[in-house]
Amino acid sequence: MDILPKSLEDLVKILNEIPGIGPKTAERIAFFIVVSKSDFIEKLLNSLSKVKSEIKVCSECGMVSDSDPCKICSSSDRDKQIICVVEKPNDVLVIEKTEEFNGVYHVLGGVISPIEGIGPRDISIDKLISRIVSNNVKELFFALDPDAEGETTLSFIVSIVRKMNINLTFTSIAKGIPMGGNIEYSDPFTLSKAIKSRSKIEY
């Protein structure tokens, strides 16, 4: 007997669209939402409505925020001449938590990936270039995942900026053995990078 109510089936399908949530997990979440006491569904609905009405995307950097421009872009304490290029809003969040970076961000909204059909036009590169020009940016700091897509995106942006004859320093987040990690079990690519990028010990 086909017993899953239509509206619940639809919810499962929608939840299944979220990356990382497979059909089984979507079903489990949908059932949790429906059967949980304490009016969970009411809370979730209110929260989503609030997010929908309050959250904006910063027209400057592309970060999600409750103001436009966002707190970082509108802060006078941040150095607008250093732009950290990231793939997605979550990356801004984790970098901010380190309190190690005092420039501004640029969220590309993706990385170039021919396999997934994502080209340079699909991510926020044009806006980045115009920000570089208008803010007289001195350093472009790439904090992209160290994989094929990240490296491709990095070299694409670097090549475009170079062609424009802009005097700019390009930097990239360091690749190496993670803190608490293990040299013995590091993969050879990481180890190669870590050896090539070895740094002088200062006393």
Q: Give me the residues that bind a second copy (CB under 8 A), please.
A: 1-8, 10-11, 14, 17-21, 25, 27-35, 40-45, 47-52, 54-55, 57, 63-66, 70-72, 75, 88-90, 92-93, 96, 109
Torsion angle of the four alpha carbons 158, 148, 171, 67, in this order, in degrees rounded to the nearest 10: 90
Least separation in angstroms between residue 76's CB and a second copy is: 12
Q: How far is 15 from 30, CA to CA, in rounded Å?
A: 8
Nearer to a second copy, 33 or 168 (CB): 33
Least separation in angstroms between residue 37's CB and a second copy is: 10
Nearer to a second copy, 19 or 117 (CB): 19
Least separation in angstroms between residue 195's CB and a second copy is: 31
The verdict on whether omega for the bond into residue 69 sits within 30 degrees of 0, i.e. cis, is yes
Residue appearing with tokens 């608490």? 180
Least separation in angstroms between residue 198's CB and a second copy is: 31
Sorted by sequence, the CB contacts under 8 Å of residue 144 that are 6+ apart come out as: 85, 86, 87, 111, 150, 151, 153, 154, 172, 173
Give backbone dihedrals phi and psi of 39, rounded to 5 degrees, phi first: 50, 45
Nearer to a second copy, 108 or 125 (CB): 108
Nearer to a second copy, 18 or 174 (CB): 18
Nearer to a second copy, 96 or 139 (CB): 96
Least separation in angstroms between residue 72's CB and a second copy is: 6
